[in-house]
């Protein structure tokens, strides 16, 4: 019986629902990420937002605090799923390395009889040497890199994120940034609403901050938790804003600083943001549900 591509896949990915969902080999780390998101929000809804429902009479505007927390959390969870469960931009392995033909823009080169000839392409008028991947058996296009964890070459490779259990590349970077920025806003929201509840308790009991904190230990725990995680997700959001503004990936930024190289992909801040957020996501190069022999014929 013929097997499908996901059943004979040579990378380290994990597939679910018949190849419809693709994760990295560390997909189980998603459970930790889910707990870090869901548990604090449940505590917030039960011990903070529930008590603020009637704090803003006569319109019971406090109900909005609970609704916003739930909606915000759902958005974060959806973005987490979209980021981690899709093809990040994997280049399929070369099924016939003896007849490889490399093409990028207006540049092209052929490799005959397995000879790994040096390939140089022009990017914005700058010559860029293209490396040969001995695992995937082809010359990697510019901005493509091989992930050692997933064992795949990924287009516009940024990094492998253990928190989402997936590579971050061309096809999911946009959603990754939306995920971390939304998580930052959720942390700010929970922190500020917990602080508001402490203020409400102070007003209701004519007490000090210390007495209000004693009446609501969960609020104090949530504020401390959000403060700590804001340094992580907030700093990560700021760093990736810088990368987007300068049209760099994490991989490129680390390598360029080490080698003191200039950034040849920067097209201006506005154009760089448009490239990330306003361009159509490229279709996957892989049909994981196709029959294996059929896929081999179609990808090369």
User: Which residues are catalytic, by number?
Assistant: 161
Structure tokens at 42: 């449940």
Which value, to the nearest 10 degrees, does the dihedral of the CA atoms of residues 201, 205, 208, 210 take? -60
Quick one: 37 exposed, middle or buried, by C-beta within 10 A (0-12, 13-18, 19+)? Answer: middle
* First and final C-alpha spacing in the chain: 24
Query: What is the rounded distance in angstroms from the CA atom of residue 95 to the CA atom of residue 9?
Result: 12
Question: Which run of H or of E encompasses 159?
Answer: strand 159-161
Q: Cα-flanking dihedrals φ and ψ of residue 177, to 5°?
A: -65, -40
The secondary structure of residue 232, as a DSSP letter, is I
Query: What is the rounded distance in angstroms from the CA atom of residue 152 to the CA atom of residue 142?
Result: 15
With a CB cutoff of 8 Å and minimum separation 6, the contacts of 81 are none
Query: What is the rounded distance in angstroms from the CA atom of residue 176 to the CA atom of residue 169?
Result: 9
Percentages (nearest 5) of helix, strand, coil residues in the chain: 50, 15, 35
Query: What is the rounded distance in angstroms from the CA atom of residue 137 to the CA atom of residue 122?
Result: 22
Tell me the Ramachandran region of residue 264: left when phi exceeds 0, alpha when psi lies from -120 to 50, beta otherwise.
alpha
């Amino acid at each position: 019986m013929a097997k499908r591509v996901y059943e004979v896949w040579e990378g380290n990915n994990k597939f679910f629902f018949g190849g419809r969902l693709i994760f990295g080999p560390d997909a189980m780390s998603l459970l930790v990420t889910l707990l870090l998101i869901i548990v604090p929000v449940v505590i917030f809804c039960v011990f903070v937002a529930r008590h603020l429902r009637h704090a803003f009479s006569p319109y019971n505007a406090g109900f909005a605090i609970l609704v916003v927390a739930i909606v915000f959390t759902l958005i974060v969870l959806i973005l987490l799923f979209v980021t981690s469960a899709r093809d990040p931009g994997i280049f399929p392995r070369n099924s016939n390395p003896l007849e490889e033909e490399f093409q990028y823009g207006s540049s092209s080169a052929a490799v005959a009889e397995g000879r790994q000839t040096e390939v140089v392409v022009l990017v914005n008028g700058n010559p860029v040497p293209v490396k040969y991947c001995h695992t995937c058996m082809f010359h990697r296009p510019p901005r493509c890199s091989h992930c050692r964890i997933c064992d795949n070459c990924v287009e516009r490779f940024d990094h492998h994120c253990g928190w989402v259990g997936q590579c971050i590349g061309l096809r999911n970077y946009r959603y990754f940034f939306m995920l971390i920025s939304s998580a930052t806003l959720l942390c700010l929201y929970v922190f500020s609403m917990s602080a508001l509840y402490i203020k409400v308790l102070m007003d209701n009991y004519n007490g000090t901050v210390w007495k209000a904190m004693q009446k609501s230990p969960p609020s104090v725990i949530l504020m401390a938790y959000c403060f700590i995680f804001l340094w992580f997700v907030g700093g990560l959001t700021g760093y990736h804003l810088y990368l987007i503004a300068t049209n760099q990936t994490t991989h490129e930024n680390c390598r360029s600083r080490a080698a003191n190289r200039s950034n040849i992909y920067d097209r201006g801040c506005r154009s760089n943001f448009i490239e990330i957020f306003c361009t159509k996501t490229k279709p996957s190069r892989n049909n994981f549900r196709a029959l294996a022999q059929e896929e081999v014929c179609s990808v090369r």
